[in-house]
Structure 1
Amino acid sequence: MDKTQGPISAFIERHYRHFNAAALRDAARAYRAHLDAGGRMFLTLAGAMSTAELGISLAEMIRADKVHAISCTGANLEEDVFNLVAHNHYVRVPHYRELSAADEEALLQRHLNRVTDTCIPEMEAMRRIEQAMLELWCDCDRRGERLFPHEFFYRLLRSGRLKESYEIDPRDSWLVAAAEKNLPLFVPGWEDSTLGNMYAAAVIRGDVRNPGTVRSGIEYMVQLAEWYTTNARRLPSGLGSIGFFQIGGGIAGDFPICVVPMLHQDLRRENVPLWGYFCQISDSTTSYGGYSGAVPNEKITWGKLARETPKFMIESDATIVAPLIFAYVLGW
């Protein structure tokens, strides 16, 4: 066995030979090759991956320097912390497909918010974090300090305030790992999240006077442009040094991938490398016209990927596929 291959990697090499299995294997090989060549990886996180506890493997990727920046939805940002402090109060509903409207209403009355087969407890998770965040928002508002959504989370985690409330091993929290690394995070459309709604309520009540105390998505794009410009270079192969690993679709992926054509077409900057690797785990259907399901070659027409960029589309369940790819890249 290759010394860089543990049993999971060896299993993938032995059995994953065709169809989506082969796409998974090829994408994992290319991910590792990109890093070995001196490249870096930008990861995007959509859907309910934090509630699916993807942090168990993603945190290892962050700690091992296999992921160098993340774009995620506001839901994924907050739900990793909800799970961190309220895991024992979550309720799993394995037969969720059989629930009636009355069953769903009963969950609502118990303050359990369902995400597929998992219910997030409102009081133990959402309201607990709301109270801690409200204090941070108000403190920054009084002092005229403005932070990005993820910076508030980093500050909260680093303060140690939540440690006595942890209900999982913090090594299984990807946001704890990101805070430890001070990993660059980008959270477009943060207002479309539970805490985003709570922040809007705080502004309406007058608890927070300046709505801009939490910095905006446009400011995230400006910061992303600075990060990409600083870190992107050309590898000896001629490919760009920053790869793009997309889990799901939506704004988490659509927002950051556009930074490259913006730098080229809107800022007229020359010699900015395109993304040097692309992989998407998707369950979207291309024929419906959704951008999330577009085949990678469509991104060539938008100036995001080059003809030579290694491209992979794995049409499968990200909760199955992503941990396997992470295990391969980690050599497990």
Structure 2
Amino acid sequence: MTISVRCVLRHHFRHFNARTLVDAADAWAAHADDGGKMMVTLAGAMSTAELGISLAEMIRRDKVHAITTTGANLEEDVFNLVAQEHYVRVPDPRSLTAEQEAELRDKGLNRVADTCIPEEEAMRKVERPLLELWQRAERDGRRHFPHEYLYELLLSGALAGSYQVDPRHSWLLAAAEKRLPIFVPGWEDSTLGNVFVASVMRKELETWSPIRGGAEYMAALADWYRETSSSAKVGFFQIGGGIAGDFPICVVPMLRLDLEEEVPYWSYFCQISDSTPSFGSYSGAPPNEKITWHKVDVDTPRFVIESDATIVAPLVFSYVLDCWGVRQQKS
């Protein structure tokens, strides 16, 4: 007999932080059952942690309706897709000496915790066709958001012959196929963002015009939130902190306070974080603080799961999908 993740978690996760996980997942399932939509935000190195294995299915099953991500997570999903066989896992990475780190660097291996991303097989393989898309857009007088170029690259099939993992495990490919709204604040703080700047400085591009930037992303997010919240409650599931979380959640106070529009608050909030509250820390700020900033309201379901997102997020996703499966069976 197959035992679902939902049954396992409900049986074992009864108290403390574990119970918060179950409560947050239950609340997401109830939000979805009520026709609610969900924004997921990706900080950290979740793509290199291969969150796509579970997130891609959430996208395909219409449980995620928009994503805000760092530029690093955006690109690293593609890097993993085309170069995973060349990744190097480092056992006991905390014991590496500075000299061992330099050896990895000199081999073109960029370390993220216990995983090294290969420069030539990953970054450069994606950089070359992407530069061609930027150059073509410049010639045609077109401007697009960073994620739209990656959508175009993936959907063109140009990289399909290079896939080294099951493409069903790529969250960005699933998002591209769904044309999911994506918002990437601070994209220039990423490898491909650096590549774009270097391409302009090398005169491979004549202007900065092919890339639409962060302020335009906020305007696009405002349009998405207005339209989506007009017919459904909109929830916010935050993985980590930083700009990936702070940028999108601020669209509500921007609309309410700066544009003086009567849009609803976020209708669900959950953050997975191991940050502790401290002076000035957004990542560790408790959800109640967001009430004063016009982000959530008094009756918004609010949760903080204080744990490692690489462990917790797939469990929450699997739980929500299990709940959906049970509802489908009953109907």
> Do the aligned partners of 1:243 and 1:275 also contact (CA within 8 Å) in 2?
yes
User: Which residue type is aligned with residue 160 of structure 1?
Assistant: G
Which residue is 1:257 aligned to? Answer: 249
Which residue is 2:159 aligned to? Answer: 162
1:80 aligns with 2:80: no
Q: CA deviation at 1:266?
A: 0.3
Q: How much identity, in percent, do the aligned residues show?
A: 64
Which residue is 1:238 aligned to? Answer: none
User: Which residue type is aligned with residue 242 of structure 1?
Assistant: V
Which residue is 1:185 aligned to? Answer: 182
Q: CA deviation at 1:234?
A: 6.8
Distance in 2 (alpha carbons) for counterparts of 1:212 and 1:187: 17
User: Which residue type is aligned with residue 251 of structure 1?
Assistant: I
> Do the aligned partners of 1:81 and 1:175 also contact (CA within 8 Å) in 2?
yes
Which residue is 2:199 aligned to? Answer: 202
> Do the aligned partners of 1:234 and 1:273 also contact (CA within 8 Å) in 2?
no
1:247 aligns with 2:239: yes
Q: CA deviation at 1:288?
A: 4.2
Which residue is 2:54 aligned to? Answer: 57
Distance in 1 (alpha carbons) for counterparts of 2:60 and 2:3: 18
Q: Which of 273, 281, 290 lines up with 1:299 in the alignment?
A: 290
Q: CA deviation at 1:233?
A: 3.5
Q: CA deviation at 1:283?
A: 1.1
Query: Which consecutive unaligned segments of at least 5 residues does structure 1 have?
Result: 236-240
Distance in 1 (alpha carbons) for counterparts of 2:96 and 2:17: 31
Q: CA deviation at 1:85?
A: 0.1
Distance in 2 (alpha carbons) for counterparts of 1:17 and 1:64: 28
Which residue is 1:217 aligned to? Answer: 214
Q: State the SS of the aligned residue for 1:246.
A: strand
Distance in 1 (alpha carbons) for counterparts of 2:288 and 2:244: 19
Q: State the SS of the aligned residue for 1:157.
A: helix
Q: State the SS of the aligned residue for 2:256.
A: helix
User: Which residue type is aligned with residue 110 of structure 2?
Assistant: N
Q: Residues 32, 190 of structure 1: CA spacing in aligned structure 2 closer, same or farther, 3 A cutoff?
A: same
Q: Residues 165, 195 of structure 1: CA spacing in aligned structure 2 closer, same or farther, 3 A cutoff?
A: same
User: Which residue type is aligned with residue 63 of structure 1?
Assistant: R
Q: CA deviation at 1:162?
A: 0.2
> Do the aligned partners of 1:41 and 1:243 also contact (CA within 8 Å) in 2?
yes
1:103 aligns with 2:100: yes
1:282 aligns with 2:279: no
- 1:117-138 alpha-carbon deviations (Å, 9 max, x no partner): 0000000000110111111111
Distance in 2 (alpha carbons) for counterparts of 1:313 and 1:245: 10
* Structure 1 stretches of at least 4 aligned residues deviating more than 3 Å after TM superposition: none
User: Which residue type is aligned with residue 191 of structure 1?
Assistant: E
> Do the aligned partners of 1:281 and 1:313 also contact (CA within 8 Å) in 2?
yes
Distance in 2 (alpha carbons) for counterparts of 1:132 and 1:293: 39
Q: CA deviation at 1:259?
A: 0.2
- TM-score, structure 1 length as denominator? 0.96
Distance in 2 (alpha carbons) for counterparts of 1:212 and 1:70: 24
1:268 aligns with 2:260: yes
1:324 aligns with 2:321: no
Distance in 2 (alpha carbons) for counterparts of 1:182 and 1:261: 26
Q: State the SS of the aligned residue for 1:113.
A: strand
Q: State the SS of the aligned residue for 1:212.
A: coil
Q: CA deviation at 1:287?
A: 2.1
> Do the aligned partners of 1:112 and 1:120 also contact (CA within 8 Å) in 2?
yes
> Do the aligned partners of 1:47 and 1:248 also contact (CA within 8 Å) in 2?
yes
Distance in 2 (alpha carbons) for counterparts of 1:147 and 1:86: 26
Q: State the SS of the aligned residue for 1:286.
A: coil
Q: CA deviation at 1:207?
A: 1.2
Which residue is 1:25 aligned to? Answer: 22
- 1:11-57 alpha-carbon deviations (Å, 9 max, x no partner): 00000011110110000000000000110100000000000000000
User: How many aligned residue pairs are there?
Assistant: 323
Query: Which consecutive unaligned segments of at least 5 residues does structure 2 have?
Result: 326-331
Distance in 1 (alpha carbons) for counterparts of 2:10 and 2:306: 19
RMSD over aligned Cα atoms: 1.2
- TM-score, structure 2 length as denominator? 0.96
Which residue is 1:113 aligned to? Answer: 110
Distance in 1 (alpha carbons) for counterparts of 2:253 and 2:37: 19
